[in-house]
A and B are shown apart, each in its own frame.
Chain A
Amino acid sequence: MLLTGTFVAALLIDFTLPRLMPGNPVQTEVTNLIAAGFTLSPEAIKGMYALYGYNPNLPIYVQFYDYIVQLLHGNLGVSYIFFPQSVSYLIAQRLPWTIFLVSIAVAVSWIPGTFIGMFAAGKRNAKFDSIFTPLLNFISSIPNFWLGFLFLIFFAADLKIFPLFGAYSNTVTPGANLAFILSVLHHAILPILSLAIVAMGGYVIHMRNTMVGVMGDDFVLVARAKGLSNRRIVRTYAGANALLPNITMLAISMGAVFGGNILVETIFTYPGIGYLSAVAVSGEDYSLILGIFLIFTIAILVANLMADLLYAWLDPRVSLI
């Protein structure tokens, strides 16, 4: 119920925001064409509006109604920039790359981040904690696109260890062959690292703080009085309790990872949905922007739903109903 409400609200915002930007897609296109030396009659411009199915003179709620009707028919519209390709086709083409990038980045940051945070709390005030915690605090405040820039300049441009752009090199043929897979991994390492390193800092800090709180609870004192070793308490006893808030954190951070991914993909010219959205926004491609935002919204809602389900499964105090 709440999920549906959130979804509709997100849809409304997604729909309104691009229309608040100055200009519109036809104007952008017309400007581009005039700059390229074409002369356009007012009839030709009118024809373009009709072609794109966009009428700025209609009230915005009528436009929204039309959009919802089309959406319910599974029609996300046609892209203006990549005309005549449909938005669903473009997204279907790009989405796997982003899922690949983001899921690996989240996995390689959340899993180690959680464990590092756990042990940092277990060894509170020890050297490990007093070095790692401030360092990771610092790292987590670095914008990931900036880190991406540094990686690009240092590893790709100067050292030439990693490629500068793309998802795979054009010398390999896409398919289930080793050369292609290696090329994909080679291209993905830098974007994944710039996403993962920054995200990990946040996970570590969050896990550490939750864990420190749990370690201060009386039941941990009791467990120690029962003879459980500190190691065992950190690993299994208190660790499981501290894990719960970190799962919520994971779901919440999905939004940030997707958001950061737009810039990181743009920097690395990675053919994912983030880069596509940057192109769509600069070209005022309303239907493409809407389609991509819709996917982002769905992804984040699904992540939250999964976190809720997981939470209910792990925490006996939470039930689904």
Chain B
Amino acid sequence: MVGSPWSHEVLKAQGVNVVFRMRSSAPKGDHLASVARESFYVKALRNVDFQVLEGESVSLVGGSGSGKSTLAKVFLGFLRPKEGSVAYLGNDIYRLKGRRMREFRINVQPIFQDPYNSLNPARKISHSVQLGLFLHEMSKEQKEERVARTLEMVGLTPVDLFLDKYPHQLSGGQRQRAAIARAFIGQPKVIIADEPVSMLDASVRADILNLILKMKQSKNTTFLYITHDLATARYLTERMAVMEQGEIVELGKTEDIIESPAHEYTMRLMNAVPDIWHHGSRAPDRPVVPPRFGVDSDGEKDETSGYVDLGNGHYVKRG
């Protein structure tokens, strides 16, 4: 759909479908006769085409259940899609072996949402951060030196004080700094950050965002940012994809989408952002489109529906 011919696709998803089998906790009300629990399927991703280009910062934006985190898991190699292909530098992630797998694991690194859960509580910070060099061929001294240098970069100073600390001895912000150090220490090509600041206090959010920005720019890392928060997405990324119910509904330059949203879901997301310049009011100048409730009964994708090209790499899903 998008992508300048000269840029290199680092991650590429094509026609990706992910289906989760769910089991209802109780028989359906109108089927009292059926005692067996019914299982139903949820399409977490529907025919998603998405590319991450080398060196760019791109955000995946959407509400809860829109499939953005699922797409992140698919790109990280944790969730094999039912259909479609996911490639890292042109090679299918789920068929990587040996040296190429090693290269993928070195170069694609996650940062997770909850710093209380993403650091092993039984290991010291030095151990957790050094885990980022697990596949790197370096001497122990080199690794230790790199850990110290990275901790300094993320602002966990004095380094000696933090090396032997356990996660529970750090604040949420400090933990997330450690998680960021762990992600960046191996100098990966791609960082996939799934809501890296949403669990943090508002007071440290800006610091952490700036830290990510600084780390990313100093290493020219490709950055996939997953969030529900349009404001931080605008701050961090130049390109944006808006997801709703497992589909990408709008894609384009971040500025274009925020200045002139074309899909009604994007507009709803924008209206949900509190406007601090108009006290107490929520962006009154935009039309409020009533939310679309109800689930499509069959979940079939209408093959004729495609995307409308608005120019300048701005695409919107036909309604």
Write the residues of chain A forming the contact surface with B, with a CB cutoff of 8 angstroms: 217-219, 221-228, 237, 240-241, 244, 314-317
Contact = CB atoms under 8 A, between A and B. Distances in A.
B135 A227 contact: yes
Interface in B210-239: none
Interface of B: 76-78, 102, 105-106, 108-110, 112-114, 117-122, 124, 128, 131-132, 134-135, 166, 168, 179, 182, 186
A233 to B, nearest CB: 10
A317 B186 CA distance: 28
A222 B123 CA distance: 14
A240 B122 contact: yes
Contacts of B113: 218
Contact of B110 (A222, A227, A237, A317): A222
B168 A222 contact: no
Given A227-B102, A241-B121, A316-B122, A222 B166 contact: no
Contact of A225 (B105, B114, B128): B105
A317 B168 contact: yes
B112 A218 contact: yes
Given A218-B112, A225-B109, A226-B105, A316 B168 contact: yes
Given A217-B117, A218-B114, A227 B105 contact: yes
B154 to A, nearest CB: 16
B134 A317 contact: no
Contacts of B114: 218
A120 to B, nearest CB: 21
Nearest to A214: B120
B247 to A, nearest CB: 25
A223 B128 CA distance: 9
A35 to B, nearest CB: 60
Contact of B106 (A221, A227, A241, A316): A227
A316 B166 contact: yes
Contacts of A223: 120, 131
A222 to B, nearest CB: 6
Nearest to B119: A219
A224 B78 contact: yes
Contacts of A225: 76-78, 105, 108-110
B122 A315 contact: yes
Contacts of A228: 131, 134
